Structures are given as structure tokens and as C-alpha cells.
A and B are shown apart, each in its own frame.
Chain A
Amino acid sequence: MRIENIKFGYDKKKNVLDGVSCAFRKGKVTSIIGPNGCGKSTLLGLCTRLYKPFSGAVFLDGRDIAEYGGKEFAKKAASVYQLNEVFSSDITVRALVSYGRTPHKKMFEPLNDRDEKIIDYAIEKTGLKEFENRRAAALSGGERQRVFLATALAQEPEILFLDEPTSFLDIYYQLEIMEIVRAVNREKGVTVVMVLHDINQAVKYGDDILVMKDGRVAASGEAKTTVTSALIKDVFGVDAELVSKENGETLFAASL
């Protein structure tokens, strides 16, 4: 996916994104980070067609995403957002995940064996097998987020967008979601683009990283080499010390 010189704002007065250009490599995981209000979630919303850019365009497989039909686009791109509430008290996990097949189905067309297999895969991959007949509304936040991830996987997307999918979750569920996303990326070659809050998670789980500040791209490139103490100081305004763990992993320890 390629983004070319996008300008966009929620009202005409102020541009939230002021000329953003970047690309997400096929088959890779890209993390997007940046301080609050930098436009990272807005950028994701433009990639998933929640918003239309004032100028510039987003290209998927060489075609402007504005030209895709609704279902046609949903077959290629799936998204998971940060807060998901189900306006249905009795829908089961499996039924909800099966809505991921919607873009592949005509109106009133029933699910076939292939659909059921894909739903099975999505449910197993997200560790929801034991929950599949439970009501989605009765699940905890972390479990429910996995249901929406499974729904997105059932879409069989080429590219998966995650908008702060872990922001409201405990650390255990955060890592769980990250591990699932990575596994799906490795197994199915799904391109992943995710907006994250946690710099260390962004670096750990991202092949590439896109760092944003004030509606522009501050830095981009390979995650491990792009993020430096100097960049963090510049973008977030905090001092970040690079700490090495015994197993060779490195972390940023931030302080004011």
C-alpha cells in the first residue's frame, strides 16, 4: 500500500494530516507511533476509507482505494479498532466471526464449507475455540478484542489494519494480541499496519516503523534501526535510555 501526499482535516480550518507520503511493504508488519494528536489513527482511517482525503490518494495494488467497491475493498483490507461494543445481547462468538465472510457473500447467500473452514481457522488462531458458542457481549475486553480480530481474519484480507487494538487491555492481553498478529503475518503473509502506543511493542513486533509528529512523517524505516533515543526525544519529548536485556533484546526506558 502506498500513500501519496495526503492532506486531511476534520474541519476545513485545520489539517490533521499535512502532506503525508509513505508506503507499507507487502507481507511485513508496520507499526505507526507518535504522540497523541499526531494524526496516526487518522492516517489509518484514511487507509481503511473511514475518511476521504482532501487531496492526495492511497493506492492498494496500484489502484486508488477510492475506486474500489465497498465489498471489493473489504475482501482485500480488514480493520480492527480500539473499542468494540456489540449492539446485540445474544450474538455468539462464532456468529460474530462469521460476519467476516460478509464481503465474500451475496445478499442471503448462506455460508458454505469453505467459509466454515475459514471461520474455524480464525477462531482457532485467536484462541477462541472454547468461547465459540458463548455470547460475545458477555466476554471480557481482551476476549472481545480477539473476537473482532478473528472477524477481520475471516475476511481473508491481504492487509490488516489495527488501530490501537490493545489500548484498553491488560498487558497479558496486549501481548497475546500482538503474538496472534505476528503469527498470522508469518503464516499467511498478511500485511499488517498497526497504530500502537507502546514504543517497545512497536519496535518488537514491527518489521518497519512509521513515526509521526504534528501530521507529518517524522521518520520511517526498519523498526530496529530507525528508533533511536534522539528520535524519541525529538518526537515525544522524553529521555529514553536504551537498555539491553540478558537475552539480547533491547528496550527503551523513558523518563521525563
Chain B
Amino acid sequence: MSMSKTLKRKITKTTLIYVACAGLTLFLIVVSIGAGYKKASLGQVITGLFSGGDYVVETLVRVNLPRTLVALFSGAVLAVAGVLFQSVTRNRLADPSIVGVSSSTYTAGLFVSLLFPALVPFSPILAGVFGMAVFLMIFRLSYSHGVKSNRILAIGAAVNAVFMMIIITIAVMQNLSATNVLLSLSGSLAVPKPEIVYSTIALSAVGLIAALFCAGKCNVLALGDKTAQGLGVNVLRMKLILAGISVFLTAVAAVNVGITAFLGLLAPLIAKKLLGDNHYNVIPLSALLGGLFLLSADCLGRAMNTPVTLPVGIITTVIGGIVFIILLARSYKNAD
């Protein structure tokens, strides 16, 4: 009796949180369409969207909707990439942006856009392949009788530093202005071309669905490598698949919005606080929260009246960085 009651309460809580997130997302989409260079009030956007014929709103939709969609999907994708990466390393503080996956995929994206501009719509895939190669190298170096998650983080940090230097070197050789480099490095949404919008949405959807199919396996992996193996999971193969999806998702976001650090940490963390550690909830909820975060960061950046729109990356990095430091400090305290 009491069990079914708690179960019922859990279901209502779950529904409530999903509905709230979805509602907040819709609200933010409207805000995001209205935010920016030309401003429209919320009411104007809503009536404009439903009744049509409002020239300002139509322009705003044309300009801002692609950016909004790319932000939503990139955020979702980065958050889920974080979830999967944490499953692989069994470490809540692991994120593809920390171990050089983001910077390596971004480097690859940069190479594609400079050397083979025609291939730009495929750059998430090319960058994903490159990012996977880099990650496999990190994985191999961290492997001795099982994956050592601390080693992944340490080696990854070194790899990350190398790629950051490569990116800066490319920028210097290309005579890009310092502002441009900084802006793109820290993740900017600018105004994406339609083919970029379509490819981002399509690739994100593929990656997110793949991730959802792995939710059960993530749950079993949480019981430990040996126990998971005993339950019939091929642990090494599963970890490679999860890492592969994670890298691919990171690549999708990195080529569009640059390096957006810490989103993969924050969203899963809050998702787990809200609905627990079951990955059937963690993955979809993180996706929603990730989209929400990136979109609100972007709105915030556009709303601030700075000469250049503040890139999303700067905002997510500042907030995410602070939270990351607090978490690290707390986890060391717990370990003592």
C-alpha cells in the first residue's frame, strides 16, 4: 500500500519536472526569438507567432529561430555527452571538454572549414571521427587491466592543452583577429546557415536516440565493471560504444558552438539531483536541462548590451567553472 503510494508520488514528481522543463523551454524559445539586436516584447512575439503578419516578428523568427534551435540541440547534446562520459569513467566530474575531446573535435572542424570548405556540412562527422581517434589514444594510454578513470582525466587534460595550442597556432597563422579566435573558442552561436541547422538537428537526434538505447547498460555499468561483466555486459565493448556516442555528440556541438565547457557536468548533476540516478531519466532530463542552459546562456549573452554579443561559452564556462570547483572541493572533503 505504502509502496504504491510512494511510487505514485514518484510518478507525479517525474511528470511535474518534465512538464516544467518542457514549459520553461517553450518560454525560452519565445524569449530567444524576441531577444537581440531588434527587440520585440514577449506578447508581440506570441501574437506574431500565432496570427502572423507582424513584419518585425517574422524577421526576428528568420534571424533568431535557427540560432535558438542550434542552441537547444547543442546544449542537449553536450549534456548527454557528459552523462555517457561519466558512465564510462564512473566519475561524476568527468566531461568530454575536460579531456580534450571538445578541443580535438573543434580543431578538426577548424581544419575542415579552412582546407575543405565544401565539406562543412559533414564536419560534425569528420570531427567526430577525429575526436574518436584522439579519445581511443587517451583510452589506450589509460588502460591497464580495466580503464583507470583518474588516468583518463590526467592524460586527457594534457591532450586538451595540446589541442588548445594547436587551435591558437592555426588562428595566428590564419591571421584571425584575437577577438575572433576568443569568440569562437569560447563557443558562439552567431547566425548559423540553414544546412548547419538541419545537420545539427538530424545528427543530434540520431545521437540522442542512440544514447537513450544505452540507458539500461549505463545503469548496469554503475554496479561496477566486474559485476556488469558478470551480468552479461561486454564491459569493454560497451564503454567504447558509449565513449563513441559521447565523442560524436561532442563533435556535433563543438563544430557549431565551439568549446562550451562544463555543460556536460552541470546538466547531469542537476538531473540526478532532481530525479535520481536511473539513466532512463538522467539521459532525457539532462538533454532538456542542457538545452535550457545553453539557450538561457545565449539569451543572457544577447540581452547584455555589450558591443559584441557575449558568446554562450563564456557564460557557461564562468558558471560551470565555479560549480565544478565547488564540487571538486566537496568531493575531496568527502574522501577525507
Query: Which residues of A are interface residues toward B (Cβ below 8 A)?
Result: 10, 48-50, 70-75, 77-81, 84-91, 95-96, 99-100, 102-103, 107-108, 133, 148, 151-152, 155
Contacts and interface: CB of A to CB of B under 8 A. Distances in A.
B58 interface: no
A147 B77 CA distance: 35
A99 B224 contact: no
B3 A78 contact: no
B129 to A, nearest CB: 27
Contacts of A81: 224, 226-227
A146 to B, nearest CB: 14
Nearest to A81: B226
A99 B223 CA distance: 9
Contact of B223 (A49, A72, A86, A89): A86
B222 A86 contact: yes
Contact of B230 (A95, A107, A133, A152): A152
A33 B211 CA distance: 43
A89 B227 CA distance: 17
11 contacts: A50-B229, A79-B227, A79-B230, A87-B224, A88-B278, A90-B276, A95-B278, A107-B213, A133-B3, A148-B223, A148-B227
Contact of A85 (B213, B224, B276): B224
A91 B277 CA distance: 7
Interface in B206-232: 213, 216, 219-224, 226-227, 229-232
Interface string B160-178: 0000000000000000000
Given A86-B222, A86-B223, A89-B277, A100 B229 contact: no
Nearest to B216: A107
Contacts of A107: 213, 216
B224 A48 contact: no
A155 B231 contact: yes
Nearest to A84: B224
A103 B222 contact: no
A88 B222 contact: yes
B90 interface: yes
A71 B238 CA distance: 14
B36 to A, nearest CB: 41
B222 A48 contact: no
Contact of A102 (B213, B226, B231, B278): B231
B277 A74 contact: no
B56 interface: no
Given A87-B90, A90-B276, A107-B213, A100 B222 contact: no
Contact of A49 (B3, B90, B229): B229
Interface of B: 3, 90, 145, 213, 216, 219-224, 226-227, 229-234, 272, 276-278
A23 B3 CA distance: 46
A128 B230 CA distance: 21
B230 A99 contact: no
Contacts of B226: 50, 79, 81
Among B224, B227, B233, B272, chain A packs the most CB atoms within 10 A around the CB of: B227
Contact of B232 (A80, A87, A102, A152): A102
A108 B227 CA distance: 20
Nearest to A88: B277
Contacts of A50: 226, 229
Contacts of B220: 99, 102
B229 A48 contact: yes
A89 to B, nearest CB: 6
B278 A100 contact: no
B230 A70 contact: no
A148 B227 CA distance: 8
A77 B231 CA distance: 9
Contacts of B230: 48, 74, 77-80, 152, 155
Nearest to A161: B230
A14 to B, nearest CB: 14
A45 B213 CA distance: 29
A99 B277 CA distance: 14
A95 B278 CA distance: 10
A103 B272 CA distance: 26
A10 B233 CA distance: 22
A133 B223 CA distance: 17
